Structure 1
Amino acid sequence: MAERDAKRLKTQKDGSPRIFKTFKRDCVKSTDLLLSAVSALERGLEGLSFAMLKVDTSNAQKQHSFVDVSIEYSPWNMFGDEEPHSGCNIGALFSDGLEVLKSYADMDSPKVPKLNLVQRTALQNLLEFLSKKIGLENGWHGNTDIIFEGADVQVACMRDEEDQDDLSVSSMEMEASDFNFKDFKQIVAQTIVFSFLQKKTCGNKLKNSLIPGIGMSKKKLIVVFYDAENDILLSTKPILLFGDKEIVYSALVFLWLTLNYKEFCTGIPDALKEFKASFLPDPVLHQMYIERVERPLHIDHTKEEKAFPWSDKNVRTVVGKKPEVVLSDLSEDES
């Protein structure tokens, strides 16, 4: 079936898959920026790193709404006492996605996904998005529907620091809506619960059990991951989406990978599976989340160090799992 879908995509008459060739021809600079973004993800540059978190205490064992979440966490000291709280590269989670981008951007022999229509369409959507003229802060949210289409990800809106000066908002409302420490805890809680939900509803349909949750504004992005099967919790710091009113390619590519996690995420590398979150170590309570979960986020810059007490200076590059994507030469594409 997948092979027939791929062949049908090649023979479409609307011309949309031609973006694979026209983007490389007309957007040389953007192709270079794509490669730079891949490198940043692989090496943990530009803030594209995460910390492995362990849950110290929480009120998850009793009935509470997300707005009343109480959770205390601390980052694992992954690399010894000399450099505590260091992070790992985000690219270690997305070997398949990075392989798709690197293969397409190859100057000598560009390739695109051959049999997987979803991966192929995701790449097409990204290229179409990048080929448009963008860069205004207020235009960001109007264009992301290209990437969000069909994504099954928890996404929470967050306010930027300057939005706190809005005098029409009461101090109580401001405290609840600003991207602060409390809001981040809500993102963590929602991501954990959604991970259990995905495990329950999707089961073996997922390539792995690592599930993301996203908090974003018109300027920043933050992503939390939780693996309900392996009890792994990790988080980025706030990542800038815009620099001088231009989209930061590395952040955009990371967002694209996250929203398409079902296809591009290769799960937790074996080297990181020992850093357990210890969320609800009581087996009875843990089983409650597995069986009873049902389907039914934001940061103050001045409080960032308290909310994210880990350093991203000495990021260790972790090699992700071997990519499993099947590619074909772009020159063979008949569209």
Structure 2
Amino acid sequence: MSYDSDDDRVFVEFPKSLVNALNIGLDSLMDETNWMGYISLTPLKILNSNAADCHEGFPFSKAYCCTEKYSTQYSFGSVFRTGISMLIEFMLHRTVPDNKQEKFVLSKLLHYLFDYLDTGNWMVWHGNVDVIINNEVVIGSQDVEEKDCSPGGKSPVEGKLKSNSLSRNPQVIAQNIVFSFLQKHRHPESENFLFPCIGVTGKDMIVYFYDSMHDVLLESTLIPLHGMIPSAVSNINLVAIVVSWLVVNYKYLCDGVMEEMKTMKAEFFSQAEAKLAVYKFDLKAGDVGNSCPMDDSQDKVKNFHHPFLMDLKKRKRMVVLEPSER
């Protein structure tokens, strides 16, 4: 059999064993009863922050942002209905997207599974982010904590943070909010303005989303980098791979906030009112030069079932699991 390209080859030869693994992995993003663990998104409300200090701005490493969770949780897949639908159609019917860019994006995930398995404005929150992918997605590494250089000349980077520091992490939240405003300014033509930011430690990852149009801040549950479904690609968690793929390609796979989410405001607009115009209109990427503990036990979880997501679940159940083969 001849193929027009390697991309076409992977669509045809992608093994059923990996289809099985993908099918199981998607359960974590769609079904709260999944035995492996449910990856949810929880809206956050900002109670207090130093995002608009009247005297100065603060680097991301010194951002203060006290938040609390809303009581409602959404499935991770609820904001990625386009991406998950694409995967389900491929698993069910080996359907390949007609859109050239979507086809390319899907091929990258399949190839990976098959083969191997800026700075901001000094007047507000600003600083160097750890990684930016294609100038689009921010990744904040939380393995180390920044500290001031001591007179003795010790390294300014000292001490490991615990994995739970990713949850409601002020630095990552600040990066996400600033980058969301910056991307909205850069790409006003976007269909939605829900922009992601990934926080990573050596063991876990977390994803934040901020919509600078509707003032909605979402936080995912912690996602292990290893285990869960380790057999697909070495010991790397397949769910983490799919989540990363969805997030990195959010421009093509993300559907933005749902109507129900728009009522759960982050309250950043009111928190940063004194300098909101800076965030909305004056952020720049480049060198700026010299220029509260909450008790989650009281949260009442109310899972939301989007009709389209329910339809995706029904279609996904149609995927027939077959014995592993390659």
Q: Normalization by structure 2: what TM-score?
A: 0.73
| Partner Cα separation in structure 2 for residue 320 and residue 279 of structure 1 | 30
- Select the residue among 227, 231, 244 that pairs with 2:211: 227
Partner of 2:276: 286
Partner of 1:119: 102
Letter in 2 for 1:192: I
User: What aligned pairs does 1:169-248 form with structure 2 within 5 A after superposition?
Assistant: 173-175=157-159, 181=165, 184-204=169-189, 206-243=190-227, 246-248=235-237
Q: Which residue of 2 aligns with 1:55?
A: 46
Question: What is the one-letter code of the residue matched to 1:131?
Answer: F
Q: Secondary structure of the equivalent of 2:108?
A: helix
* Alpha-carbon distance change, 64 to 101 in structure 1, aligned in 2, over 3 angstroms: same
**Residue 149 to residue 236, structure 1, CA distance change in 2 (3 Å):** closer
Letter in 1 for 2:283: V
1:263-278 → structure 2 map (5 Å cutoff): 263-278=252-267
Match of 1:316 in 2: 303
CA contact (8 A) 1:266 1:321 kept: no
Give the secondary-structure state (helix, strand or coil) at the position aligned to 1:247. coil
2:30 maps to what in 1? Answer: 42
SS in 2 for 1:119: helix
Q: Which has the higher helix share?
A: 1
Tell me, what secondary structure is at the counterpart of 1:207? coil
- d(CA) in 2 for partners of 1:15 and 1:181? 41
RMSD: 3.2
Q: Which moved more, 1:310-319 or 1:223-232?
A: 310-319
Cα distance in 2, alignment partners of residues 88 and 317 from structure 1:
6
Residue 12 of structure 1 and its aligned partner are, at CA, apart by: 7.4
In 1, are the aligned partners of 2:138 and 2:197 still within 8 Å (CA)? Answer: yes
1:89 to 62, 69, 75: 75
Is the Cα–Cα contact under 8 Å of residues 195 and 209 in structure 1 kept in the other structure? yes
Q: CA deviation at 1:294?
A: 1.3
Paired residue for 2:290? none
Distance 1:102 1:151 in 2: 29
Paired residue for 1:165? none
What secondary structure sits across from 1:53 in the alignment? strand
Question: Which amino acid counterpart does residue 90 of structure 1 have in structure 2?
Answer: F
My pick for the range that moved more, 207-216 or 42-51, is: 42-51
Deviation at 1:96, TM superposition (A): 0.3
- CA separation of 1:307 and 1:216: change in aligned 2, threshold 3 A: farther
- Kept in 1, the 8 Å contact 2:133–2:248? The answer is no
TM-score by length of 1: 0.71
Letter in 1 for 2:275: L
**Following the alignment from structure 2 to structure 1, what is the Cα–Cα distance between the partners of residues 275 and 198?**
26
Gaps of 5+ in 1: 1-10, 79-86, 135-147, 161-169, 297-305, 324-335
CA–CA separation in structure 1 for the residues paired with 2:251 and 2:297: 28
Query: Could you tell me how far 1:171 is from its partner in structure 2?
Result: 10
Return 5+ residue gaps in structure 2 as ranges: 118-131, 145-153, 287-292, 312-326
Decide whether the 8 Å contact of 2:216 with 2:265 is kept in 1.
yes
For 2:255, the aligned partner's letter is T
Alignment check: 8 A CA contact 1:210 1:227 kept: yes
Letter in 2 for 1:73: T
1:77 equivalent in alignment to 2:78: no
CA distance in 1: counterparts of 2:295 and 2:140, whole angstroms: 18
CA pair 188-72 structure 1, distance change in 2 beyond 3 A = same
Once the two structures are superposed, the pairs formed by residues 24-39 of structure 1 within 5 Å of their partners are 27-39=15-27
Q: Is 1:154 aligned to 2:161, yes or no?
A: no
The 2-side partners of 1:320 and 1:17 are apart by 33
Partners in 2 of 1:151 and 1:34 — Cα distance? 28
What is the SS of the residue equivalent to 1:276? coil
Instruction: Label 1:129 to 1:292 Cα distance change in 2 as closer, same or farther (>3 A).
Output: same
Return the alpha-carbon distance in structure 1 between the equivalents of residues 276 and 7 of structure 2: 47
Percent of counterpart pairs with the same letter?
27
CA displacement, residues 20-55 of structure 1 (integer Å, 9 cap, x when unaligned): 0000xxx21110111222222112452411211000
